[in-house]
Amino acid sequence: MTTRLPTYFISHGGGPWPYLDGPFRRAFDQLEQSLVDIRRELGDAPRAVLVISGHWEEDGFAISSGEQPGMVYDYSGFPEHTYSIRYKAPGSPELARRVQDLLRTGGVQARLDPERGYDHGTFSILKPLYPGEDIPVVQLSIDRSYDPKLHLQLGRLLAPLRDEGVLIIGSGLSYHNLREARGPEGREPSRVFDAWLHETVVAATPAERTPRLLDWERAPSARAAHPEEDHLIPLMVAVGAAESEAGAVVYHQKDLFGGITASSFRFGQVPTAP
């Protein structure tokens, strides 16, 4: 029997997609199914979720610590109703303090933020993943330095949570160049960089994976795929928390927004029953 939870890097899609209808919503059917599959493979193992969101940047680190987090509508141009939606899962001040203590023990300071609400890097994946809105959720920011080494270390410090029933999710996108995402310019860079990601986090050994990620800017089409790496950095945290364990693909789509390639990954094994 294994009870240690795996970690995930999830390409979270666009805006408040689970709350929409029509063609834009349907573009994420494969992503939604992958999240349903994750819920199925984890069963009732997670007691809480920690999301490292590419939509929350700080100078240093901050942890959401409110009991009933509100919402952060960090998108524009969507229907009016998407600015009043609510994902009603409770927060967990206890887990927030546990995260803070783990980081502090490793020499990383993080402040508690009782006011931070759920941004769409969090609620867009949790709505299909845990639609019952009953599992406590805590968010952790990324640091504006985007330092891969720092965020890998952050993941290492968080690793004990995996044995405590806490599901660690890095939420971003494997390709995030909004200027070119809806045109033909993004197709080849997204495909090439995604192929490098698969080679790095799945095909390479764990020992090979870390130095490749530290040097990610040398990857083919790296800056074409990520002009800024806010949506890639959560991957470093997910890897750091399962650094010696194998990676696997849990979502792969070649026609997002008409031609963009995107992927999500799992690190470590799913829990098994006795």
Residue 110 lies in a domain: yes
- What pLDDT is attached to residue 180? 65
Helices (H), 90-186: 93-105, 120-129, 148-158
- The Cα 229–Cα 1 span in angstroms is 37
| 1 assigned to some structural domain | no
User: Is 158:237 a contact under the CB 8 Å cutoff?
Assistant: yes
Inside any domain, residue 45: yes
Long-range CB contacts (within 8 A, 24+) of 39-43: 39/129, 39/130, 41/270, 42/5, 42/167, 42/270, 42/271, 43/271
The first and second tokens of residue 70, run together, are: 């509100």
What is the tally of structural domains in the chain?
A: 1
- Is the pLDDT at 219 greater than 90? The verdict is yes
Q: What is the pLDDT of residues 125-145, one digit of tens each?
A: 999 999 999 999 999 999 999
Cα angle value 124/130/133 (rounded, 5°):
90
Mean pLDDT to the nearest integer, 158-166? 98
pLDDT greater than 50 at residue 146:
yes
Residue 262 lies in a domain: yes
Question: Is the confidence at residue 151, as pLDDT, over 80?
Answer: yes
On whether the CB atoms of residues 267 and 238 are closer than 8 A, the answer is: yes
Q: Domain for residue 114, yes or no?
A: yes
The arithmetic mean of pLDDT across residues 230-241, rounded, is 98
Residue 2 within any structural domain of the chain = no
**Strand, helix or coil for residue 174:** coil
Whether 80 is covered by a domain: the verdict is yes
**Structural domain boundaries enclosing 113:** 7-267
For 72-100, how does the pLDDT look when each residue is reduced to its tens digit (9 = 90+)?
999 999 999 999 999 999 999 999 999 99
DSSP calls for 62-91: EEE--SS--B-----SS-GGGGS-------
Percent of the chain with pLDDT over 70: 96
pLDDT at position 36, please?
A: 98
Q: What band does 181 get if pLDDT is binned at 50, 70 and 90?
A: low
Per-residue pLDDT at 33 exceeds 90: yes
- pLDDT score of 1 more than 60: no
Residue 57: its pLDDT value, please? 97
Where on the phi/psi map is residue 155: left (φ > 0), alpha (ψ -120 to 50), or beta?
alpha
CB 152 within 8 A of CB 52: no
Q: What CATH number has the domain bearing residue 49?
A: 3.40.830.10
